[in-house]
């Protein structure tokens, strides 16, 4: 978990950077749309992994309380 989450975040950031590159430096409309998709998928991936990490740590933190056992 300590290695996987930052790795996925870095992949999402690199995907968004690639999307910005494709969007700004392409003259073709299809390539611009592909760049927008890369940006959206990168941001959605970052949001999903951060939400999953937050939910997982919250649930495991609640289950670890002695009053629930």
Per residue in 8-64, pLDDT (tens digit) is: 999 999 999 999 999 999 888 999 999 999 999 999 999 999 999 999 889 888 888
Range of the domain at 37: 4-68
When divided into structural domains, the chain yields a total of 1
SS3 64: coil
How far is the C-alpha of 23 from the C-alpha of 11, rounded, in Å?
Answer: 18
pLDDT (0 to 100) of residue 68: 59
pLDDT (0 to 100) of residue 21: 93
Buried-exposed string 11-50: b where 16+ CB fall within 10 A, e elsewhere: ebeebbeebeebbeeeeeeeebebbeebbeebeebbeebe
pLDDT (0 to 100) of residue 60: 86
pLDDT (0 to 100) of residue 33: 92
């Amino acid at each position: 978990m300590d290695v996987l989450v930052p790795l996925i975040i870095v992949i999402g950031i690199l995907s968004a950077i690639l999307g910005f590159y494709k969007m700004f430096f392409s003259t073709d409309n299809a390539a611009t749309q592909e760049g927008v998709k890369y940006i959206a998928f990168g941001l959605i991936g970052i949001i999903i992994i951060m939400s999953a990490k937050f939910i997982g740590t919250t649930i495991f933190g609640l289950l670890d309380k002695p009053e629930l056992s």
